[in-house]
Amino acid sequence: MAYNFKNLTISKISVIGAGQIGPDIALHFAKSLSPFGVSVIVVDISPQALEKAKEKVHKKIAKGVEAGAFKPEQAEKIKNALIFSSDYDQVHNSQIVVEAATEDENIKDKIFRQVERLTEDACIYLSNSSHMQPEVIFRNIKNKTRCLVAHYFFPAEINPVVELVPGKETDTSILNLLLSFYEAIGKVPIKVKSSYGYAIDPIFEGICQTAIMCFEKDWGTEKEIDTAAMKALGLGVGPFTALNLTGGNPITAHGLDEMGKLLMPWFKTPTVLHEKTKTKEKWNTAQRGEKVELSPEKEEKLVKEFRGAFFALASHILDIGIVDINDLNMACELSLVIKAPFAFMNKLGINNAYDLVKNFCANHAAFPFPKVLDKAKSEGGWKLKDIITSKREDVLLITIRRPKVLNALNLEVLGQIKNAMEEVKNDSSIKSVVITGFGVKAFVSGADINMLASLKTPEEGINNSKNFQVVVDYVENYSKPVVCAMNGFAFGGGNELAMACTARICKKGLPVLVCQPEVNLGFIPGAGGTQRLPRIVGVEKAAEILRTGRSVSSKEAAEIGLVYKEAEGNLVDEAVKLAKQIASGEVKAKTVPKEPISKNGDPKQIEIGHLSKKIDEILVKAIYEGSRMSLKDGLDLESRMFGECMKTQDMKIGLENFKTNGPKAKAIFIHQ
């Protein structure tokens, strides 16, 4: 057995190094690829390290079973896929080798020279370095075209971000293949040009340096500084706690000094960090549940310092030109569990962010003021996007990329989709459009719940619905065919966007493809769901799906005509092919009727269980009265009915239950 992805066939992956991160990298590969029979070899010269790594990984697998992340039979497959060995000959016949050894260029060089003797020329070499440039690591490898850095973040089996750093001789096609491959196995890869420390570590280690400098200046205790950093930047844990958890003192101490030589003089290892590294002493951080109080004056001083440092560091990385702003903004948030830096600056106000950086640089003479901030200020903020656009011959491909919220829609994202389509509307070289989502789990998980929760009045609800409908209508009435490639589940607004497309195509074998779950949250669809679904699958089938909020599998979606077909091969490739066929007239797509579709009388009785009878009453009116109207009038009715939900107690109850208890907890509706 093997895992086939594009022109890559994988039966064996080897991970060299059984220390801090290697076993976690191996665990992620095993979780993703064991269903395909792929073997994952962990190699280390130390039998003790291997035994410890095996014990650690098996404990994590057992915890996964306890938490319900996977079933016992899946756990056995993962365990069986993992082989721990001190025999380097096990690396034979690997298609990918990931080195995760000590951050020492001579050790890495020695490992890869040994691996080169054991593998074929097509084997891809990846180094999980956190700092070193690929040109240094792979300096003695003959075929450098297949060599690059794949920088994982702690903990590697959970943290989604991987920085892919090609060297000067890396084959671009291999880089692009790996970007797609990592996305296909559930990671969020970003491309970073070769530079010491890459894009994210200089920011993280710069924040750690800032924290230690504050400590050395007696601005607070480690506990106080950690607390202030978390408040200032939205960190999951403070910098001192992060250094303790990752055992990061030695690597940070080394990295800061090297960055001082190679990036800018401001980076410098503080004396106390050198001392902690020598003594192997941990920082004095707060225990779980311990509350740390700060005086308002101390907190304000520390918050300003951390925000100034964070914004300056992120802007500096843009200044050196090694990464795309949208990649960096997203990857910082995901990898460091921190606020997305450029979105955060926009939220605070670009002038406020500019002043914080100006003051920080004035107090840190070795830190040059980032030039990109001048441009951002003159433009009124950072220009950010949650979509990626590319061209496949004469097809525009739009990928919605918001992995933190599973590609959830808000008006800003919809506006970006509309703008991208508007830009090529009169471009004769573009014949059709494909819209898809990033990753493998979700096309679009729904509308952004925080946006919905902010709506207070019927008027606000009507306006929100109409604003969504404007963009969805634009997609439906676009002058060129638009195919939706449903790479995962489409809930709520995601399905409503998909239904507005000329045709839909989905991955085969998905137990859950679409769902209109709004009734579970105490409201109704507002972006066309009550009108387009009946026109595509029939009124009674649509009413049953909408009123119960149940999910529909990919198989059922194909059977009832909600999707054109299930794709067995590469989804985007098949979507592009379908878009071209529709554009050429080879395939005739079934359009959503604009005229009334029904003269039905009373709706059928449906068992709705715990769901709100009040919301069901509003929903029934939208479905059945709308089916007797034109699509245009039906959509107007839907917006008014969505506004009616704002008057109910059940919408407040449903949204609060979702925010407090999560999507699986049933709301206790009062039917008012």
356 located within any domain: yes
Distance CA 310, CA 214 (A): 14
Distance CA 14, CA 92 (A): 9
pLDDT at 90: 96
125-140 pLDDT, tens per residue?
999 999 999 999 999 9
Say if residue 357 is in the same domain as residue 453.
no
Out of 353, 378, 403, a domain closes at 378
pLDDT at 594: 95
Task: Categorize the per-residue pLDDT at 460 as very low, low, confident or very high, splitting at 50, 70 and 90.
Answer: very high
671 located within any domain: no
Strands 489-491 and 147-152, sheet pairing: unpaired
pLDDT at 600: 67
Mean pLDDT over the full length of the chain: 95
Span 89-95, average pLDDT:
96
Strands 503-507 and 489-491, sheet pairing: unpaired
Residue 499, C-beta contacts closer than 8 angstroms, at least 6 positions apart:
528, 529, 532, 533, 536, 562, 592
Residue 560, C-beta contacts closer than 8 angstroms, at least 6 positions apart:
537, 538, 541, 552
320 located within any domain: yes
pLDDT at 347 over 70: yes
667 located within any domain: no
CATH number at residue 27: 3.40.50.720
Say if residue 66 is in the same domain as residue 32.
yes
Say if residue 301 is in the same domain as residue 439.
no
Say if residue 176 is in the same domain as residue 205.
no
85 located within any domain: yes
| Per-state percent for the chain, helix, strand, coil, to nearest 5 | 50, 15, 35
pLDDT at 201 over 70: yes
Say if residue 185 is in the same domain as residue 205.
no
670 located within any domain: no
pLDDT at 94 over 80: yes
30-51 pLDDT, tens per residue?
999 999 999 999 999 999 999 9
Q: Are 483 and 579 in contact (CB under 8 A)?
A: yes
Domain extent, residue 29, equals 3-191
Say if residue 504 is in the same domain as residue 638.
yes
Say if residue 278 is in the same domain as residue 314.
yes
Q: Are 487 and 437 in contact (CB under 8 A)?
A: yes
**Could you give the residue numbers annotated as active site?**
496, 518
Span 249-277, average pLDDT:
95
Q: Length of the chain in residues, anyone?
A: 672
Say if residue 357 is in the same domain as residue 423.
no
pLDDT at 120 over 70: yes
CATH number at residue 601: 3.90.226.10
Say if residue 364 is in the same domain as residue 412.
no
Say if residue 349 is in the same domain as residue 392.
no
541-569 pLDDT, tens per residue?
999 999 999 999 999 999 999 999 999 98
Out of 358, 378, 398, a domain closes at 378
pLDDT at 217: 97
State phi, psi for 204 to the nearest 5 degrees: -60, -50
The DSSP result for 325-361, as a single string, is HHHHHHHHHHHHTS--HHHHHHHH-HHHHHHHHHHHH
Residue recorded with tokens 């929100």: 464
Percent of the chain with pLDDT over 90: 93
Task: Categorize the per-residue pLDDT at 483 as very low, low, confident or very high, splitting at 50, 70 and 90.
Answer: very high
Residue recorded with tokens 């573009």: 430
Long-range contacts of 87-92 (CB under 8 A, 24+ apart): 87/43, 88/43, 88/114, 88/115, 88/118, 89/118, 90/14, 90/41, 90/43, 91/14, 91/16, 91/41, 91/43, 91/115, 91/118, 91/119, 92/118, 92/119
Say if residue 38 is in the same domain as residue 101.
yes
407-423 pLDDT, tens per residue?
999 999 999 999 999 99
pLDDT at 492: 95
pLDDT at 627: 94
Task: Categorize the per-residue pLDDT at 121 as very low, low, confident or very high, splitting at 50, 70 and 90.
Answer: very high
- List beta partners, residue 371: none
pLDDT at 449: 79
Span 197-213, average pLDDT:
98
250 located within any domain: yes
Span 476-480, average pLDDT:
97
Say if residue 564 is in the same domain as residue 440.
yes
CATH number at residue 211: 1.10.1040.50
**DSSP conformation class of 595:** S
Out of 378, 396, 419, a domain closes at 378
pLDDT at 601 over 80: no
668 located within any domain: no
Total domain count, the chain: 3
